[in-house]
Structure 1
Amino acid sequence: MTGAPVLPRLAGARAPTRDAGRWWPVVPAAVAAAAGFWGLSVPSLWRDESVSALVARMPFGELRRFLADLDAVHALYYLLLRPFAALPWTPEIAVRLPSVLAFTAAALGVAALGRRLAGTPAGLYAGLLYALTPIAARYAQEARSYALVSAVAVLATWLLVKLLDRPGAGVCAAYGASVALLGWLHLYALLLVPAHLLTAWLPALRRPLTNPMPAVVRSAVAVGAAGAALVPLLVLAAGQRDAQVFWLRTPGWAELAAFPGDVAGAGAVVLFAAAVWGAVRAPAVAVWAVLPVALSFAISQVQPVYHPRYVLFAVPLLALLAGIGLAGVRWRAVPVAVLVLFAVLVFPAQAAMRQPAARPDDLRTLAATLAAEERPGDRVLFVPQRFRLFVAVYGAPYDRLTDLTRAPGAPGPRTAAELDAALKGVDRVWLISPRIGTKYADDERYRTLKGTLVPGQTRTYGSIHLTLWSRNN
């Protein structure tokens, strides 16, 4: 094995220039695209994806009101999703397509970045590892912003390398814009910025720079400008935090220890062992990959922000680190064997995530059940009200059923008295809710329904419950 450090290339060494080497990053991108499209339409959309699809289709006036109350942190993503949500394709393909494209771009970027830092083999190995990593492929097939965040994190890191290599006003502006874009797509992804700044400020991580201070100053200026561009989002997000991530809990050491398995499943040992060897050769890349996760965990001890998908943007940098590690092996057959082993180990996880009921909720089967069993005159009630947004991406049965949750034109849900009046002469109501338990047992709409109709069998579709309430004839 060879232990020569690779980071000097970060500052001064030129990337390989042979034409054949220039095109190698296309290979991981092609593998990522194949993985992204493999079984894309098979799993049902689940509640988070339903929100994405329905919000992306809202008229702008309704969208503005929705974002004023909730999900302002995802505003840019919803706007980017709008043209895809309007495509006349199956909803699974239409709304997941941006994530597949972002995953493909991220794999290309990882390979290009690895090539620039450590040579063509490092880039090829890193890109392939990323394309095969289960958590990356999982969120490549989700209609949420996480795959796009990862792609922008790779772009921002690429621009940082350029900024440290050849400081200039243009690349400084581009880097600042990429950081702002990263924050507008997901605020927690800004945990990458401290890792970037450490690279700029610590000589041990950025040596040897010919003229280091301009890069250091410009990186700080770029981050400051990006921060200013994010102020409106930060203000909105602060007011919505309790409604947005109330479900997060303080993680313990067990959650942190589970992170490698969350990322790579049975292939975790292979990926992280290669990354450890890569850290010896590329300490700056190790900082990029590790510090955001560590910061997320540390902050969560005071204010919970940690979840594996919220640090997904660190995974391409982890793959980059592992690719650099494999490229440090003298015997070229070893990296090939490691890649094959990794592909074999992660294949069961890759196949499992593409099963029809592989998502937390099976909204497609829920909609099919309603469509098959609804009768003329049936009504539907959502407890709480937001569950309509959680399930109605498969619109046909919900478009036909009269919604008792909210009166036409009313801004909020019906009161108990209003629901009681609306139930006059109604024989059957479909209740769509989470498990009622003690949390929703006191909901006034649920209590009114319970006092009027009798529940039948409850069927579950992940966390979504469907119960037919009818007159006790």
Structure 2
Amino acid sequence: MTGVTVLPRQAEAGAAGRGAGRWWPAGPALVAAVAGFWGLPVPSLWRDESVSALVARMSFDELRRFLADLDAVHALYYLLLRPFAALPWPPEIAVRLPSVLAFVAAAYGVAALGRRLAGTAAGLYAGLLYALTPMAARYAQEARSYALVSAVAVLATWLLVRLLDRPGRAALVAYGASVALLGWLHLYALLLVPAHLLTAWLPVLRRTLAANPAPAVVRSLVAVGAAGVALVPLLALAAGQRDAQVFWLRSPGWAELAAFPGEVAGAGAAVLFAAALWGAVRAPAVAVWAASPVALSFAISQVQPVYHPRYVLFAVPLLALPAGIGLAGVRWRPVAVAALALYAVLVLPAQVAMRQPAARPDDLRTLAAALAAEERPGDRVLFVPQRFRLFVAVYGTPYDRLTDLTRAPGAPGPRTADELDAALKGVDRVWLISPRIGTKYADDERYRTLKRTLVPGQTRTYGSIHLTLWSRNN
């Protein structure tokens, strides 16, 4: 191997044992599979996962209309999820399965990339650290695109290494396609691209880069430019939906940035980041891949909020790379093994906690069970705001039996106050499903109409979702 070897001596040592070492990435992949499937169906699907499952089951015409108004940035993910959502399995398994598989693939890719850059030991440590990391495992068990984005980020980084090491048309096309795929899965993941370009542009980041870096610059720019063209339609759609999509983001402060290591690794953060810092000294190019996206996201968010820990999850497998290189650089191997074992012990409480029945922000399964047990013939349901039907109805049986007052059949939007008032005539019981009403939704015309007509009972909460039975005051 030429061109991109980060630590030539270790890489050559790893290559010497190529026959035995080529299968080592399967070890981290197996650990990731165990972590991914461990307790997979236990936590209820929550609000975001409900959206994924319901949108993946829409007809193509319904999907087109939905994406015209919202979530166009997740269009590719919803299409990929469709065959899984159709499986006759519990939804907690069926719609989370792509994320588990992506997590396994990413662990394999991290191990393989670490081995290529710094030898077998570095790859093995990096893959195992990633497979054990709580944040990675958490989103491996979520029916959203984040685990897939992480896997594609690893793939794109591997293909960048190949492009710079062995340039050619096939390598150029493959890298450009991976960048386009990365953007189509999540636009914010394109924050990885500047780090990739730095690797090509700055010889100091690539210890064995040819003296003239111009060909590497040109190749990487061509690939990224072609990917940008492929992303133009998505960028146009996303620009028109941004206010509806991420209106809730706020500019992070230093406290949020300081909390990021804990978000990633919980009680094991000191071990993981100390190993990564030691690896960064030995392989600065790899450290740039991990640190640059987080730093860029934080900096951009001071002007236009884009930062959230899960939006930079794709940097976590790249963080495992310098950490693995750092452990491999420890001269006395038992110390490195002990550090890995200590990390596994420290992250175990977080791994257990995320697999509890109520470990997600919403417990939609228990909500649906309570509604199914208590609903009566003639009951109605009202969602305030309207989008909450999509947020909760993944467990569909009780909602399918209830007449929905939120929107008249065939109507494009929610009922007006007068329409709801007419629909409530002769109705004795209405289940209201909403967030906390507070001041934000107190002026909703459907809520005010309901309040004038019926009397509320006790409100029960299932995470952030509220369930209240409103009835006639007989």
TM-score calculated relative to the size of structure 2: 0.97
Seq. identity, %? 88
Aligned residue pairs total 468
Do 1:274 and 1:326's aligned partners in 2 also have CA atoms closer than 8 Å?
yes
1:212, 1:203 → 2: CA distance? 7
Matched ranges for 1:63-462 at <5 A: 63-210=63-210, 212-462=213-463
| Deviation, structure 1 residue 8 | 5.3
1:458, 1:95 → 2: CA distance? 30
| Deviation, structure 1 residue 207 | 3.2
Deviations 1:336-390 (A, max 9, x none): 1011100000000000000000000000000000000000000000000000000
Deviations 1:255-296 (A, max 9, x none): 000000000000000000000000000000110000000000
Structure 2 counterpart of 1:453, one-letter code: L
Do 1:9 and 1:116's aligned partners in 2 also have CA atoms closer than 8 Å?
no
Paired position in structure 1 for 2:52:
52
| Deviation, structure 1 residue 166 | 1.1
1:22 aligns with 2:17: no
Do 1:274 and 1:325's aligned partners in 2 also have CA atoms closer than 8 Å?
yes
1:9, 1:382 → 2: CA distance? 61
Could you say what secondary structure the match of 1:116 adopts? helix
1:447, 1:455 → 2: CA distance? 12
Do 2:201 and 2:216's aligned partners in 1 also have CA atoms closer than 8 Å?
no
Do 1:47 and 1:391's aligned partners in 2 also have CA atoms closer than 8 Å?
yes
1:261, 1:384 → 2: CA distance? 34
1:337, 1:6 → 2: CA distance? 27
Do 1:380 and 1:432's aligned partners in 2 also have CA atoms closer than 8 Å?
yes
* Alignment gaps of 5+ in structure 1: none
1:354, 1:91 → 2: CA distance? 16
1:166, 1:15 → 2: CA distance? 19
| Deviation, structure 1 residue 97 | 0.1
| Deviation, structure 1 residue 9 | 4.3
Do 2:195 and 2:293's aligned partners in 1 also have CA atoms closer than 8 Å?
yes
1:349, 1:124 → 2: CA distance? 23
| Deviation, structure 1 residue 101 | 0.0
Paired position in structure 1 for 2:31:
31
| Deviation, structure 1 residue 214 | 2.4
Structure 2 counterpart of 1:7, one-letter code: V
Could you say what secondary structure the match of 2:313 adopts? helix
The RMSD of aligned alpha carbons is 1.3
| Deviation, structure 1 residue 20 | 1.0
1:75, 1:64 → 2: CA distance? 9
Could you say what secondary structure the match of 1:50 adopts? helix
Could you say what secondary structure the match of 1:230 adopts? helix
Do 1:167 and 1:214's aligned partners in 2 also have CA atoms closer than 8 Å?
no
1:268, 1:132 → 2: CA distance? 12
Do 1:164 and 1:212's aligned partners in 2 also have CA atoms closer than 8 Å?
no
Structure 2 counterpart of 1:413, one-letter code: P
1:448, 1:202 → 2: CA distance? 64
